[in-house]
Amino acid sequence: MLRSSLREFLCSEAMHWLGVPTTRALSLVATGEPVIRDMFYDGHPAPEPGAIVCRVAPSFVRFGNFQILEDDLKKKLADYVIRHHYPWFELCRFFQEVCRRTALLMVDWMRLGFVHGVMNTDNLSILGVTIDYGPYGWLEGYDPQWTPNTTDLPGRRYCYGNQPQIALWNLTRLAESLLLALVEKDSLEKGARALCRHLSGRR
């Protein structure tokens, strides 16, 4: 729909110029057809103008892609990502680098007061870029419990203050997927510890 497509276009450009790794919007096209949406999730859906935003990024592979594949395909996907985006790393170093990039992305989000809103494994990029601008928002005043996602209000899992820990949780799910692809456990745990050091400010 046009409303959410405009929001994504504007925010991805803002993030880019603020120095945050992100997908970008190549184009925004109105479809000329209405779509039915419940804007406030209050049981009153209404038609809105339809639109399509075309996003660009070096890759749209996400953590969640590894979770849904059979073990042999997980290894093939990891080999593909490494070959095209991390050619200087073997598999375990690849995981450590994903941890590092994700940690730095969380630092960028937190320093700007940006709240993603839906940090599930399908919305974290294997390249450490901001992806899938859904119910995102920005803090107006410091409130670690604030979330822009109305469906997240009961538990506030994806609130501002939880973002670093949710990133770590998602990286743990990625590590589990890679373990099933016969990666050595100790190397993956080293990558996870590196993420914790970044988040705590230690070197």
Of the candidates 115, 72, 121, 97, the one whose C-alpha atom is nearest the C-alpha of residue 192 is: 97
Residue of 122, 143, 152, 186 with catalytic role: 122
What CA–CA distances, in Å, run from 84 to 7, 31, 59, 142, 144? 30, 34, 9, 40, 37
What is the distance, to the nearest Å, from the Cα of residue 106 to the centroid of all Cα atoms in its chain?
Answer: 10
Is 122 tagged catalytic?
A: yes
Name residue, tokens 């050595």: 184
Contact between residue 181 and residue 74 where contact means Cβ atoms under 8 Å apart: yes
Amino acid at 127: L
22 is written with which tokens? 């992100």
Of the candidates 33, 200, 187, 59, the one whose C-alpha atom is nearest the C-alpha of residue 124 is: 59
Contact between residue 72 and residue 133 where contact means Cβ atoms under 8 Å apart: no
**Which residues are marked as active site?**
122
